[in-house]
Amino acid sequence: MNSFSEEVTLEGHIIDSWTLPRAFDTIMDMGGSFEVREMQVGRAKDEVSFARLKVQATTEKKLESILVALQSFGAVLASRDDVAYLPAPADGVLPTDFYSTTHLPTQVRLNGRWVNVKNTEMDLVIIISPAFSEAQMMPSAAVCKGELVVVGHEGIRILPPQRSREREVFSFMASNVSPEHPKRLVIEEIAKQMREIRSRGGKILIVAGPAIVHSGAGHHLAKMIREGYVQVLFGGNAIATHDVESVLYGTSLGVCLDNGRPVEGGHRNHMAAINTIRAVGSLREAVEQGVIREGIMYECIKNNVELVLAGSVRDDGPMPDVITDTAKAQVRMRSALVGVEMVLMIATMLHSIATGNMLKASVKVVAVDINPAVVTKLADRGTFQALGLVTDAELFVRELASAIAMGDKHEAQELAEVEKL
Amino acid sequence: MNSFSEEVTLEGHIIDSWTLPRAFDTIMDMGGSFEVREMQVGRAKDEVSFARLKVQATTEKKLESILVALQSFGAVLASRDDVAYLPAPADGVLPTDFYSTTHLPTQVRLNGRWVNVKNTEMDLVIIISPAFSEAQMMPSAAVCKGELVVVGHEGIRILPPQRSREREVFSFMASNVSPEHPKRLVIEEIAKQMREIRSRGGKILIVAGPAIVHSGAGHHLAKMIREGYVQVLFGGNAIATHDVESVLYGTSLGVCLDNGRPVEGGHRNHMAAINTIRAVGSLREAVEQGVIREGIMYECIKNNVELVLAGSVRDDGPMPDVITDTAKAQVRMRSALVGVEMVLMIATMLHSIATGNMLKASVKVVAVDINPAVVTKLADRGTFQALGLVTDAELFVRELASAIAMGDKHEAQELAEVEKL
Amino acid sequence: MNSFSEEVTLEGHIIDSWTLPRAFDTIMDMGGSFEVREMQVGRAKDEVSFARLKVQATTEKKLESILVALQSFGAVLASRDDVAYLPAPADGVLPTDFYSTTHLPTQVRLNGRWVNVKNTEMDLVIIISPAFSEAQMMPSAAVCKGELVVVGHEGIRILPPQRSREREVFSFMASNVSPEHPKRLVIEEIAKQMREIRSRGGKILIVAGPAIVHSGAGHHLAKMIREGYVQVLFGGNAIATHDVESVLYGTSLGVCLDNGRPVEGGHRNHMAAINTIRAVGSLREAVEQGVIREGIMYECIKNNVELVLAGSVRDDGPMPDVITDTAKAQVRMRSALVGVEMVLMIATMLHSIATGNMLKASVKVVAVDINPAVVTKLADRGTFQALGLVTDAELFVRELASAIAMGDKHEAQELAEVEKL
Amino acid sequence: MNSFSEEVTLEGHIIDSWTLPRAFDTIMDMGGSFEVREMQVGRAKDEVSFARLKVQATTEKKLESILVALQSFGAVLASRDDVAYLPAPADGVLPTDFYSTTHLPTQVRLNGRWVNVKNTEMDLVIIISPAFSEAQMMPSAAVCKGELVVVGHEGIRILPPQRSREREVFSFMASNVSPEHPKRLVIEEIAKQMREIRSRGGKILIVAGPAIVHSGAGHHLAKMIREGYVQVLFGGNAIATHDVESVLYGTSLGVCLDNGRPVEGGHRNHMAAINTIRAVGSLREAVEQGVIREGIMYECIKNNVELVLAGSVRDDGPMPDVITDTAKAQVRMRSALVGVEMVLMIATMLHSIATGNMLKASVKVVAVDINPAVVTKLADRGTFQALGLVTDAELFVRELASAIAMGDKHEAQELAEVEKL
């Protein structure tokens, strides 16, 4: 009955990384069957395992789709052909059978050798240059007529992450930290990792929602930026506007940040904040002319943080620094993401999803929101080191700032003691 | 057409307390009409207003139900009859036309005089003693055969709260503090009011959910109890069990509170905690024999906090101190509520609703939960000084403890300075 | 102490529309005081009332801000000066003291006469043409250098809505229909009103989220469009992509709509759907060439529904019909909104907020989402006829389609009976 | 270093049931290590696999706790001792080292033979009768002094479920049906399974929250009961009260179910409903005397549905049929659960959690709530066939009733056709 078959091999920590049982699952779920032809189980935890399976299906099409699925677990087909490709028929238009990427490291077989594909992002396509044995991922909209786009599934190899042997805070993977669990320890761990990244010159991105300012936690974030814990900041028109409003008028959407009460006529303040910046031309000009002298935007500009403000259709104004064309904003975000090791997404769904879509699987992601549905959505985007915190943005930012300060103090004490010796 | 009519009067701050427009609304909503016969508007803010309305309706029944509705705004019928009453036909059974109470101060007219009704709680009935000109509210289940139960609507007067002229944190009434608003200021205000109540020997009740322990904030609450900020504590089997488990094993539902990770076999710990207390007989015995030496339960017992643990159908065990009969638990809760000025409901819906049902309108309520639907449900139970906080229980309890400690420190400094002089 | 004062008058159903008590509230909240100089209360429900107040405050600034606040209740200053205006200093830049609009009908006093301001939308500015005694609202970004922008608060009159005497489904205003209340009746009422609007040639707008397609309810919406119940449709890249994916492949984000299970490799389908449309150039071309022959997009194009797809930074692709520049999308949306009487916002927060920001207060809004926080946010944007439904988008669309079909059937039967006679 | 070791064996579909990788995970997570001594992988999907592992740890305590954990995956220790037991020191008090059960089928080794333990429920203890080679699970509170309670972990064997080879609707296990997925198909599948259970005389339990009545869907549930689709119904005071109120007065908590508007004075109706039933003595009396002639309670009584109304501390009244002692209510619920194959939990967290705690792993559970957090909590209680639906209770009950009716119609048609032949 299962007249079509193919052999595939899997190698690595395929049992303790759950690769093998997931492969078995997948084959059965998709209506195929398998035989284990060869199996060597690593006896100790530092020995790799190896499996050779005969995969069977009733139709060639079904077999094909099973093989595609197994590919994403790192399965390699016995038949090792080169990758196939076709020219793009028009700008931004792909050959019908284009290959759509995952967010995992990928290789293509070119001229008989496995070549690393540059960039890693989900739902892109792979463009190759056979002459130079080079390949890179690219958004479909950026593909020009005639560029060579990978098609089919032959000659493509995905390198899935091996399971980390050490348990750490980010291995909560896909299981969020609910409001009922202790978060203090988790926040301290995040602070510790941020310190490490900063000390080795790594890059941390914060995707910041307006609630940070609105809830009165803006100055904590500003301090973190000033002290070098943020290298890239993504946001929208709202966070910039709220931040400038709070600096100029002490309000956020007309609510006084000192006493939490609406200021009469204060609803107009955010429009006035936008107008003030429009009048000087840009946030950078406003900083340089001394129009704003503190706040999140001020610190970003003073400390050369890469700032991308992406517009949305619900924006008032907007601020002159906001990129209203979302396609252009994506280009800027992609470029700013190069080298980012850790992303904190705080109280903004739109910009966080946009960012999550662009991340490769190895980036550490912390998603913070009071709405569990948002946290689940963000933490489920498939990175392997996502940590979702269902909690209050204001209190989270305060706690994080305080955990960082505590760490800085310890470090200073240690240094002082070293100098004494 | 409107052939049935009656005159009512309203007096007090009836315009700025929104009483008059709500009365107009109600009449029209219920299909009646009205004429303003007399109206004196207080010219300045300390002058009361007065209105005399002729209320009309097409049927006597409709007129009657409008008058009942107006009564809850403090309207008084021109015709001042005595209150009517009938004997209860059996234990826990009421005369058909029984009057169901509100949570507002109420008077009944007995022997031609207005008499205050003792106790104030929603959905109870009024029992009267004509001989002694006394009246009190009582749950229907507690009414004995033959007791005189108020029926109909004649001779009953409700005293609605007059609008507070000063704006304060509790005047957020019915509009919750969303996660997007600054909560630090609100928490400081709550701490300040708790200090005031403590210093004048008032009573504060905390309705405590198990997430307080589970999230690692239990020791903050224990400290607040030790320092005299809690006079009454309501909870269920879970908070007691989690608290004892955390004291005995360092875990909560098997999750280690020091590192946030599940302890293998730890799931058994909560059953073992219950068994330990069952073996000594009660929480008090456990404290006295030194079985538990810290924690929320320990502090409650050591500091003579009135502790009511009300059972629920989902309980394991339960702890021997848990009152498994919910009717008996209600009796205990009602008795413990006497004199309570402020209630903090933290991360527990069941016990908070139960408590909310028993509160008179003048008690200050703070409802804290990460789920906005729960906060709305709690803050909407009709007290006039409810404040809903959509936030994280762990971080809220920490912040509150820290705001209280800050206040204590200030006080100590002031005292020290006074002594120096 | 209150040395600054001004007289204002209020007229209309100011007591039963709650205008007067809200005015009293506002004055006291803002630290002012007042005297009621004159007061005539309408005796019956069709008689208007009139009040003349002396408003007092300790500083001129405070008095000014109180008067501004009263203006939004329809208060008119005794001193009736003309509106003030200044030229815009640069394109998209306003004079500092610009007046920010509400979403209520507004008049300005020009050359001694009250002139209606064209367009009505919150947070815009008013541009005037003194020569022609004309005024219109405009987004600040659209203001050109030299255009005359209204400043200050003199000579501006807002016409607040008078309370509707009849209770109707939309008077739930600001109090949402919780999941615990019966929704069947509400949905039938919405269907009835949609039928009425359709029969008189009015315009209905649906702001449609991708969950409509994803949950399998797309064909119900398509049917409603085909039968003329939708004149304008707003959405984003996702609903267009999901709709085309479902038409071409029977899946939505790779999930089979016939059995609810993920199709292996199906994750690629949405990219393929986008590529297919990019290859033919546009959705319209795809319809005309027969590439898509059913679905929401198909029906919109076939039935000349005004379709605005506004891009966002999280979009894949996008579809060629998506307007990636959000500023341009706003212009298109504003223009499509002219004449719209009713808006259904279904399962999309971003586009719904964007739409809500542009609506004048008199438009009927139905906001449907399973997340109560979203519904509250949408229904609270200040229209006076907002109805929030916390419910399931799939089941809501099905029920609505079925309620409409039921109504159509009744109408057909009635017509048939009429013809028989 | 790892000086303590033990051999365990695992047998069955241990790879495709994910047992083996979970065992590996657990050993490493708990700080142990392992060697695979022997491994036979079933070649085809109907062949079982076998593994023999040497488990190592640095301390005996650690090794012990790893072995306990492996036990829950079905691992069997090489050393096959009998189960150990100790007498209970007092009524309701356990020996310190008591064994706490899982909700999986369990065997104990008594007199050298594996004996099935009667009943299956989480967090109970095992009582044995060595003389008769019998064992049963029992709540700790029910244990009498001197009864023999299993202690330690020797001689206990858990039989974990083997993974179902066929994919079905209930295999969504732990991954809920989000509001964005098509629910119609899922609801049809539930209806189909209910029909099957009914036709073979099986038992279906509905745990019913008051929102079913409050939202106007009560008559759909009543119909399902009347037609034999419900054998057991669990609820609280609220559903009984709302149901009787709706039957007697047409309202639910004072809201008219015909037009969704509050009835003035209607707030009193639920107290009057309770009083009416208290006056006749019980719901059964009310049915027999014709006081109530329809509704959920009526149908339960008329159709001999096992009805357990468990009280809670927030109850008004309560109804005379409500069991106010929660410990007694648990006993009644446990007894009613015998033989139940499927549970629908609709819009009630308290009673659903209580029920979930008592279920063995093989019962099918459908958890329906509009709050995703509640659904997750219910569907995560560890049954292996849980299906969580984040949706509207009213619309769910309507759809389910309609799907059942559709099925009944098809069946009738088929029968009619058969008869014709």
Report how far Cα C205 is from the mean position of its chain's Cα atoms: 9
Are residues C239 and C233 in contact, defined by beta-carbon separation less than 8 angstroms? Answer: no
The band of D42, judged by pLDDT with boundaries at 50, 70 and 90, is low
Query: And the tokens for C175?
Result: 């109090």
Is C211 within 8 Å of D259 when comparing Cβ atoms? no
- Report in angstroms the alpha-carbon separations of A276 from A281, A292, A322, C231, D251: 9, 10, 15, 39, 56
Task: Choose among D226, D257, D187, D206: nearest CA to D402.
Answer: D187
Model pLDDT, residue C276:
96
Residue A420 pLDDT grade (very low, low, confident, very high; cuts 50, 70, 90) = confident
Residues B117-166 pLDDT 10s? 999 998 999 999 988 789 999 999 999 999 999 998 888 888 776 654 44
Mean pLDDT computed over B403-411: 87
**Who among A167, A183, A258 is closest to B394 (CB)?**
A183
Give every CB contact of residue B420 below 8 A, 6+ residues apart in sequence. none
Q: Is B38 on the interface with C (CB under 8 A)?
A: no
pLDDT band at C33 (very low <50, low <70, confident <90, very high): confident
Give pLDDT, residue A94: 94
pLDDT at C360 exceeding the cut of 70:
yes
Mutate to test the interface with B, among D313, D325, D328 (most CBs of B within 10 A): D313
D165, pLDDT greater than 50 = no
pLDDT band of C79, cuts 50, 70, 90: low
Q: Judge whether D397 and D220 are in contact, CB under 8 Å.
A: yes
* pLDDT tens sequence across A112-164: 888 999 999 989 999 999 887 899 999 999 999 999 999 988 888 887 766 54
Q: C180 pLDDT band (50/70/90 cuts)?
A: low
From residue A1, how far is each of A32, A36, B395, D255, D383 by CA, in Å?
Answer: 11, 18, 61, 62, 35
User: Is B93's Cβ below 8 Å from some Cβ in D?
Assistant: yes
Kindly state the tokens that stand for A158: 């995905």
How do beta strands B148-151 and B125-129 pair?
antiparallel
Residue A258, chain B, CB below 8 Å: the answer is yes
pLDDT tens per residue, range C378-396: 776 655 677 888 888 888 9
- pLDDT score of A388 more than 50: yes
Contacts of C123 in chain A (CB under 8 A): 271, 316
Q: Which of B51-55, D87-91, D150-154 shows the highest mean pLDDT?
A: D87-91
CB pairs < 8 Å spanning A and D:
52
Mapped onto helix, strand or coil, the DSSP state of residue A406 is: helix
pLDDT tens digit string along C246-261?
999 999 888 888 777 7
pLDDT value at position D70? 85
Query: What's the whole-number mean pLDDT along residues C179-188?
Result: 79
| Range name among B49-63, D119-133, D213-227, D289-303 with the lowest pLDDT average | B49-63
pLDDT digits (tens, 9 = 90+) for A176-209: 556 667 788 889 889 999 999 999 999 999 999 9
**Closest by CA position to A152, among listed A168, A174, A128, A171:** A128
pLDDT tens profile A242-259: 999 999 999 988 888 877
**Would you call A93 and C279 a contact, using CB atoms and an 8 Å cutoff?**
yes
D174 burial type by CB count under 10 A (0-12 exposed, 13-18 middle, 19+ buried): middle
According to the model, what pLDDT value does residue A166 have?
A: 43
Pairwise pLDDT comparison (D6 vs A85), residue with the higher score? A85
CA distance B314 to B348: 14
CB within 8 Å: D35 and A21? no
Selected residue with higher pLDDT from C94 and D391: C94
**pLDDT on residue D381:** 63
Give residue B80's pLDDT. Answer: 64
pLDDT at C78 (0 to 100): 65
Torsion sign, CA atoms A141, A146, A147, A149: positive
Average pLDDT, stretch A310-318? 95
Strand partners, D203: D340
Nearest to A257 by CA among A296, A294, A204, A218: A218
pLDDT at D6 over 50: yes
Nearest to C100 among A30, A123, A268 (CB): A268
- Minimal C-alpha gap between B60 and chain A (Å): 46
| pLDDT exceeds 50 at position C364 | yes
Show the tokens assigned to B183.
């909560």
Q: What pLDDT digit, counting tens, does each position of B366-403 carry? A: 999 888 778 877 776 655 677 888 888 888 999 999 99
Q: What confidence tier does A42 reach under pLDDT thresholds 50, 70, 90?
A: low
3-state secondary structure at position A190? helix
Q: Does residue B266 contact residue B256 with C-beta atoms inside 8 Å?
A: yes
Round to whole Å and give the CA distance between C373 and C391. Answer: 12
Question: Phi and psi dihedrals of C417, rounded to 5?
Answer: -65, -40
Closest by Cβ to B181, choosing from A179, A180, A214 = A214
For residue D179, pLDDT over 70 is answered with no
Whole-number average pLDDT of chain D? 86
Name the band, by pLDDT with cuts 50, 70 and 90, for residue B226. Answer: very high
Highest mean pLDDT among A120-124, A152-156, B323-327, C404-408: B323-327
User: What ipTM does the predicted assembly reach?
Assistant: 0.86
CB of B166 within 8 Å of a chain A CB? The answer is no
For residue D34, the cross-strand partners are D55
**Nearest residue, CB atoms, A313 vs list C274, C314, C350:** C350
Alpha helices (H) along C72-203:
184-199
- Under the banding of pLDDT at 50, 70 and 90, the label for residue D175 is very low
Q: Which of A219-233, B395-409, C53-67, D21-35 is modeled with the greatest confidence?
A: A219-233
Lowest mean pLDDT among A95-99, C246-250, D87-91, D157-161: D157-161
- Choose between B251 and C44: higher pLDDT: B251
Does residue D290 belong to the interface with chain C, where contact is any CB pair within 8 Å?
A: no
Residue D182 to residue D151: CA distance in whole angstroms: 48
Considering only the beta carbons, identify the residue of C179, C184, C214 that sits closest to D181. Answer: C214
Do residues D128 and D108 make contact, with C-beta atoms less than 8 angstroms apart?
A: yes
CB B411 within 8 A of CB B199: no
Which of the four pLDDT bands, split at 50, 70 and 90, describes residue D10?
confident
Q: Which residue has the tokens 């919780």?
A: C178
Q: Which pLDDT value is given to residue B231?
A: 98
Instruction: Indicate if the pLDDT at residue D172 is higher than 50.
Output: no
**pLDDT value at position C80?**
64
Q: What tens digit of pLDDT does each residue of D254-293 get?
A: 888 877 777 767 778 999 999 999 999 999 999 999 999 9
Cβ distance A16 to D35 less than 8 Å, yes or no, reads no
| Distance of alpha carbon D207 from alpha carbon C167, whole angstroms | 36
- The predicted model gives A248-275 an average pLDDT of 84
Closest CA to A91 of C316, C279, C273, C311: C279
Give the pLDDT of residue C46: 65
**Distance of alpha carbon D218 from alpha carbon D245, whole angstroms:** 12
